[in-house]
């Protein structure tokens, strides 16, 4: 059978492969949802060109921040069905400390439930739920994708007056360098790595 | 599972009535070695330390072992007596004197030969052997117990595709169209979204859409989500999408309606997990607002400590709104397939291996335990007597790596309402007929079709009855993986085909239903049915055992008045056994059609109490046979062994699959690696082939992975001989 030219041209131009949607979320060069550095349930996110965050989803906190070597930001991961961080470690939390609910003088451990993640315009967001008895708190954490410094933003919902949510680590500071031990209201807190 | 507290007795007083089971009389030693009468055990996998005994009357029997072991293994031995399992923690012994330990007391039943098995732990080698001389069986009644000869497996008739051999061609009533583009698509989940859109996930983590209303070939697949973590199941429920990823059940949400999924909502991850490569969440179905899936067992640990994360091997359900998570059933190993069965039940397939002597199709039941376990702590549903499968899928006769089961739609002619499953190694499609007997589901599996390019893993039906099937493969041979992975559309054409359609158990035999009427005066001769039967013994090492594998008597064959059914009278019906029934190729339909296939496997969970089959005397002329129904030349034993056990991974034409090709094998030279990584140059001869069958890891051919299971526990010596001879004669 002979193909007429228009038909042949159409056939040649027809996409043989996947039609990729533009700007599809969860691009692996920025966000990697395979296990990272031996933490079974974890996510790695690239901020800017070379900074990577590694989140422990069961502890609801970043456990590592590192700078990728070279120019290519995605060189910060050794890839496979499990991944390893590659580069210079800037922060690492091996403490296994969890979030705590402080009520007056008493502190309570809480059951942590990961709710999921969202990629929005310019940021990546995680959500968790904390439970203590019948109490439920919701923690949101945003990582600006194009941040010019190592930054994360946190917000807790459900705290009562006089209650605070104690962070697992005090290594992160406010942008003006103040220490942050706890979240005390439902505003967004911006934290940076000194 | 009962755990033994070991009582160590230094040469305890022997009972007056004791029966010895000497080490020297076991079925196969695997890679373990003999020191005279002593077996020095360093590894369990590949060995069968078994004996048959028989009892004249029912009574309790105490089993003890005579052994020495200065440095015991850190894993337990399994002792099995007629299917009753116990574990034995080996104590350290001092000196060179023999020690005796009680392994357990079991109930012996009279009649059938009973299998006694000693099963060393896991796949790991132990540097310090357990020296084993004999088991001692003690009973109260003189001469009640005797050693019995191991039943020789029946000599099978000569085979042809569909008649004792795997099919090679596509079912005559099917038409298949491969839908491939230039990308590798290992399809891991599949579902319809509406009537015209097929969605599928790939192992690497993409979600693709295929508009069936604009189907072109080459197909245009649209990437609609990415970055998923090894998804192995996909379900659509009321327009909502659920994916079972490696460690998490996830809902993909497009909140702003722009066609992109920007929210990956965690429905649940409320179970322990490790980094083991084989821990997946297999399958996904939504029923009554609950998402069902299986969390598979780890595999890399089998060569080391053999400890699973708690609750692995479960069927889990998570509420799609609240995330509430429940363990529904336990004891699954590699349950790579969940689907709806007839009447909305949920069916699950599982792959043979440790504690699974065969592949299975099970009906999901709350709190069921399907027999896979590893080491304590046991699954909360673990129990000594496992829930039986609805249908055993004997390995490798009719399945090797069964995948998703799917119930055939009404457009599939006589097969509507039956169940198909795919296979990621055996290939093709197999067909299952299910029936309920005394409240228990059971049935038969039939070979249905081969002849497809792809190894089918997941399925979806369109409302019109087109079956979309997605292929997958694993291993290191990327060309092979790319070749057998992809999408296929399968259509039932309605063409007339003559084959066994169903099999129903009666109190005194099995009734086989055919798709067409038999030719007049055929089907009546019982010699025209070659029937074998066996039970299964599960073992903690890979493989398991066929028990009492024997030829069955077919006393009579009765053809129904409409000539669509044949009732076979089987006097040796036994519950918890499998019947394999071969039909002769000479059988024809009234329209002169030959059989497409002539084989089925029926699982007897329950024998109906008051439902006998009708027995009728055969017309005189119907008993005449111009020539034998079956031939027993034995000439193709080797080729059948190759087809059944080897062909899925080793070709004969030089092309690479999971393992090296067998083309021009005899006297060829192979570059191999031993377990320590040392390189060897080996000339292929009978000794090398035998070792490769018994202990495949001893010399792994360069460029391939050490993933072949040892076959010594599965094959008799005569079968290994036949296979080796066949391989050496290959051109």
Task: Calculate how close chain A gets to B705, using CA atoms only, in Å.
Answer: 17
Q: Is the peptide bond before B147 cis (omega within 30 degrees of 0)?
A: no
Write down the mean pLDDT value for chain B: 93
Lowest mean pLDDT among A11-15, A87-91, B519-523, B637-641: A11-15
DSSP B16-56: SSEEEEEGGG-SB-TT-EEETTEEEES--TT-BEEEEEEES
The predicted pLDDT at position B3 comes to 45
Class of B173-492 per CATH? mainly beta
Residue B434 pLDDT grade (very low, low, confident, very high; cuts 50, 70, 90): very high
Rounded distance between C-alpha atoms, residue B279 and residue B285, angstroms: 19
| DSSP H or E run through B640 | helix B637-641
- Of B566 and B709, the structure prediction assigns the larger pLDDT to B566
Residues B220-244: what's their mean pLDDT? Answer: 97
- When mean pLDDT is compared across B148-157, B417-426, B485-494, B622-631, the lowest value belongs to B622-631
Q: Are B445 and B434 in contact (CB under 8 A)?
A: no
CATH number of the domain located at residue range(s) B500-623 in this protein? 2.60.40.1220
- Interface residue B199 vs chain A (CB under 8 A): no
Does the beta-carbon distance from B222 to A82 stay under 8 Å? no
Q: B374, B489, B359: which is closest to B432 by C-alpha?
A: B359
pLDDT digits (tens, 9 = 90+) for B377-396: 999 999 999 999 999 999 99
Q: Residue A38 and residue B275: Cβ atoms within 8 Å?
A: yes
> Phi and psi for B213 in degrees, rounded to 5?
-80, -15
Local confidence band at B16 (pLDDT 50, 70, 90 cut-offs): low
What is the tens place of the pLDDT at every residue in B337-358? 999 998 899 999 999 999 999 9
d(C-alpha B381, C-alpha B359), whole Å = 20
What does the alpha-carbon distance between residue A136 and residue A111 come to, in Å, rounded to a whole number?
10
Reported confidence tier of residue B532, pLDDT bands at 50, 70, 90: very high
Q: Matching CATH topology for B173-492 and B500-623?
A: no
Say which range, A4-18, A31-45, B119-133, B702-716, has the weakest mean pLDDT: A4-18
Q: Does A38 touch chain B (CB under 8 A)?
A: yes
Residue B423 makes CB contacts below 8 A (sequence gap 6+) with: B399, B400, B401, B402, B403, B430, B455, B456
Cβ of residue A40 closer than 8 Å to a chain B Cβ: yes
- List the single residue in B181, B246, B259 with the smallest CB-CB distance to A16: B181
Contacts of B191 by beta carbon, 8 Å cutoff, 6+ apart: B198, B199, B200, B234, B235, B236, B241, B284, B460
The confidence band for B8, taking pLDDT boundaries of 50, 70 and 90, is very low
Q: How far apart are the first and last CA of chain A?
A: 70
Rounded distance between C-alpha atoms, residue B46 and residue B397, angstroms = 19
Looking at the predicted structure, is the pLDDT value of residue B321 above 60? yes
- pLDDT, tens digit, 9 for 90 and up, residues A103-162: 999 999 999 999 999 999 999 999 999 999 999 999 999 999 986 789 999 999 999 999
Check if CATH label 2.40.40.20 holds for domain B8-148.
no
What pLDDT sits at residue B7? 41
Which of B:262-281 have CB within 8 Å of A?
262-266, 269, 273-275, 277
Q: What is the predicted pLDDT for the residue at A17?
A: 36
Burial code of B622-644, b = ≥16 C-beta within 10 A, e = fewer? beeeeeebbeeeeebbbbbbbbb
Least confident of A15-19, B66-70, B275-279, B481-485: A15-19
Cβ pair B227:A32 closer than 8 A: yes
| CA–CA min distance B237, chain A (Å) | 19
B220 touching A (Cβ < 8 Å): yes
Q: Is the pLDDT of residue B420 over 70?
A: yes
> Can you tell me the distance from the alpha carbon of B319 to that of B290, in angstroms, rounded to the nearest whole number?
4
Helices (H), B356-493: 478-484
What gap in Å lies between CA B502 and CA B521, rounded to an integer? 21
Q: What is the ipTM of this complex?
A: 0.90
Q: In terms of DSSP H, where are the helices of chain A? A: 5-13
Structure confidence at residue B215 (pLDDT): 72
Per the CB < 8 Å rule, is B222 touching A18?
Answer: yes
pLDDT at B158: 93
- For residue B722 the two structure tokens come to 């036949």
Whole-number Å distance between alpha carbons of B72 and B132: 12
B209 touches chain A (CB under 8 A): no
Which of these, B191, B156, B145, B211, lies nearest to B284 by C-alpha position? B191
Q: What is the CA radius of gyration of chain A?
A: 21
What local confidence, expressed as pLDDT, does residue A22 receive? 61
What is the pLDDT, as a whole number, of residue B637? 80
For residue range A168-190, what is the model confidence (pLDDT) as tens digits?
A: 999 999 999 999 999 999 999 99
Mean pLDDT of B420-430: 97
CB contact under 8 A, A26 and B264: yes
Pair B582, B529: CB distance under 8 Å: yes
Sign of CA dihedral A153, A156, A160, A163: negative
Q: What is the pLDDT of residue B415?
A: 98
What pLDDT digit, counting tens, does each position of B95-134 carry?
989 999 999 999 999 999 999 999 999 888 999 999 999 9
Domain range annotation of chain B: 8-148, 173-492, 500-623, 637-728
Fold of B637-728: Cytochrome Bc1 Complex; Chain D, domain 2 (1.10.760)
pLDDT at B295 over 80: yes
Write out pLDDT tens, residues B664-700: 888 888 899 888 888 999 998 888 888 888 888 888 8
Residues 178-197 of B with CB under 8 A from A: 181-183
Using 50, 70 and 90 to split pLDDT, how confident is the model at A6? very low
């Amino acid at each position: 059978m002979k193909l007429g030219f228009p038909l042949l041209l159409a056939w040649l131009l027809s996409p043989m492969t996947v039609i990729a949607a533009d700007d599809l979320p969860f691009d692996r060069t920025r966000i990697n949802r395979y296990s990272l550095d031996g933490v079974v349930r974890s996510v790695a996110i690239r901020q800017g060109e070379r900074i990577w965050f590694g989140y422990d989803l069961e502890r609801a906190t970043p456990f590592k921040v590192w700078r990728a070597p070279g120019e290519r930001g995605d060189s910060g991961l050794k890839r496979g069905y499990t991944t390893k961080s590659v580069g210079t470690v800037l922060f690492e939390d091996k403490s296994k400390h969890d979030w705590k609910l402080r009520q007056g003088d008493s502190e309570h451990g809480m059951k942590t439930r990961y709710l999921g993640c969202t990629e929005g315009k310019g940021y990546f967001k995680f959500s968790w739920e904390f439970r203590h008895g019948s109490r439920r708190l919701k923690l949101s954490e945003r990582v600006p994708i194009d941040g010019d410094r190592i930054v994360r933003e946190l917000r807790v919902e459900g705290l009562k007056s006089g209650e605070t949510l104690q962070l697992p680590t005090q290594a992160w500071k406010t942008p003006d360098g103040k220490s942050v031990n706890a979240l005390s209201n439902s505003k967004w807190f911006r934290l940076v790595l000194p | 599972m009962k755990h033994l507290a070991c009582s160590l007795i230094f040469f305890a007083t022997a009972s007056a009535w004791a029966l010895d089971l000497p080490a020297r009389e076991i079925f196969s030693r695997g890679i373990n070695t003999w020191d005279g009468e002593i077996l020095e055990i360093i590894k369990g996998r590949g060995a069968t330390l078994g004996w048959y005994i028989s009892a004249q009357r029912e009574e309790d029997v105490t089993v003890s072992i005579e052994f020495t072991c200065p440095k015991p293994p850190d894993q337990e031995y399994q002792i099995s007596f007629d299917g009753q399992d116990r574990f034995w923690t080996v104590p350290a012994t001092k000196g060179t004197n023999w020690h005796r330990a009680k392994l357990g007391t079991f109930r012996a039943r009279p009649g059938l030969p009973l299998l006694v098995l000693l099963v060393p732990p896991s796949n790991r080698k132990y540097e310090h052997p357990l020296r084993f001389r004999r088991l001692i069986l003690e009973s109260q009644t003189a001469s009640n117990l005797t050693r019995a000869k191991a039943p020789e497996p029946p000599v099978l008739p000569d085979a042809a595709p569909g008649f004792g051999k795997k099919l090679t061609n596509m079912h005559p009533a099917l038409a298949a169209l491969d839908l491939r583009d230039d990308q590798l698509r290992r399809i891991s989940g599949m579902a319809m979204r509406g009537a015209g859109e097929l969605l599928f996930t790939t192992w690497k983590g993409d979600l693709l859409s295929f508009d069936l209303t604009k189907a072109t070939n080459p197909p245009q697949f649209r990437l609609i989500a990415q970055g998923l973590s090894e998804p192995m199941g996909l379900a659509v429920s009321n327009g909502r999408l659920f994916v079972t990823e490696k460690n998490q059940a996830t809902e993909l949400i497009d909140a702003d309606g722009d066609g992109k999924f920007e929210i990956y909502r965690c429905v649940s991850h409320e179970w322990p997990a490790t980094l083991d490569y084989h821990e997946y969440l297999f399958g996904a179905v939504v029923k009554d607002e609950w998402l069902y899936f299986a969390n598979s067992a780890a595999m890399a640990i089998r060569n080391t400590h053999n400890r699973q994360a708690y609750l692995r091997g479960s069927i889990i359900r998570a509420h799609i709104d609240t995330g509430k998570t429940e363990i529904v059933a336990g004891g699954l190993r590699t349950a790579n397939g969940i689907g709806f069965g007839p009447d909305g039940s949920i069916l699950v397939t599982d792959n043979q291996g440790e504690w699974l002597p065969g592949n299975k199709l099970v009906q999901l039941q709350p709190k069921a335990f399907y027999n896979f376990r590893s080491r304590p702590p046991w699954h909360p549903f673990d129990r000594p007597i496992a829930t039986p499968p609805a249908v055993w899928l004997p390995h490798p006769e009719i399945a090797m790596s069964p995948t998703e089961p799917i119930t055939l739609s009404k457009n599939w002619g006589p097969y509507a309402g039956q169940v198909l499953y795919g296979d990621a190694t055996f290939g093709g499609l197999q067909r299952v007929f299910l029936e309920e007997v005394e409240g228990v589901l059971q049935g038969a599996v039939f070979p249905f079709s081969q002849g497809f390019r792809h190894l089918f893993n997941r399925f979806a039906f369109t409302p019109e009855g087109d079956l979309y099937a997605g292929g997958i493969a694993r291993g290191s041979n990327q060309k092979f993986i790319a070749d057998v992975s992809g999408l296929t559309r399968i259509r039932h054409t309605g063409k007339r085909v003559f084959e066994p359609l169903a099999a129903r158990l009666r109190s005194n035999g099995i009734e086989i239903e055919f798709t067409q009427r038999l030719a007049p005066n055929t089907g009546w001769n019982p010699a025209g049915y070659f029937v074998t039967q066996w039970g299964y013994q599960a073992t903690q090492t890979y493989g398991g055992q066929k028990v009492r594998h024997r030829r069955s008597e077919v006393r009579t064959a009765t053809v129904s008045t409409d000539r669509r059914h044949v009732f076979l009278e089987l006097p040796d019906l036994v519950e918890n056994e499998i019947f394999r029934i071969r039909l002769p190729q000479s059988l024809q339909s009234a329209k002169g059609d030959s059989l497409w296939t002539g084989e089925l496997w029926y699982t007897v969970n329950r024998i109906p109490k008051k439902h006998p089959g009708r027995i009728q005397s055969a017309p005189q002329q119907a008993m005449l046979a111009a020539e034998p129904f079956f031939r027993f030349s034995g000439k193709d034993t080797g080729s059948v062994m190759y087809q059944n056990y080897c062909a899925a991974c080793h070709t004969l034409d030089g092309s690479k699959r999971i393992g090296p090709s067998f083309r021009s094998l005899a006297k060829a030279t192979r570059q191999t690696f031993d377990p320590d990584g040392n390189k060897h140059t080996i000339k292929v001869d009978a000794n090398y082939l035998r070792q490769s069958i018994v202990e495949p890891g001893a010399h792994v051919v360069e460029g391939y992975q050490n993933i072949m299971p040892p076959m010594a526990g599965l094959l008799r010596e005569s079968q290994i001989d036949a296979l080796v001879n066949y391989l050496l004669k290959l051109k």
